[in-house]
Amino acid sequence: MAEKVKRILEFTEADVKYTAYGIVTGCGVGTILGLFFENVVLAFSLGGVIGIIAATIFSTIKKLT
């Protein structure tokens, strides 16, 4: 049980890659949406945060399977 928890909490090189892709994708989509809603800074920031959260969830699910 402790080994499984340790494996889930460990931040590997693949996790760094997923997080980087999440940030880039989120910021890109946020910037494009920000142009339409005329608030680029807010959408850029929100996209980056959502990208980090999504990458963390994706990485955790990938470790569990």
What does the pLDDT look like over 15-32, one tens digit per residue? 889 889 999 999 999 999
Contact of 18 with 60, CB cutoff 8 Å = no
pLDDT at 5 over 90: no
DSSP of 28-65: HHHHHHHHHHT-HHHHHHHHHHHHHHHHHHHHHHHHH-
Q: For residue 38, what are the contacts with CB-CB under 8 A and spacing of at least 6?
A: none
**Span 4-10, mean pLDDT?**
75
pTM for this model (two decimals): 0.80
Whether 39 and 11 have beta carbons less than 8 Å apart is answered as: no
More confident residue, 50 or 63: 50
Mean pLDDT (whole number) for 3-12:
76
**Is 38 a residue whose pLDDT tops 80?**
yes
- Report the 10 Å Cβ neighbour count for 59: 20
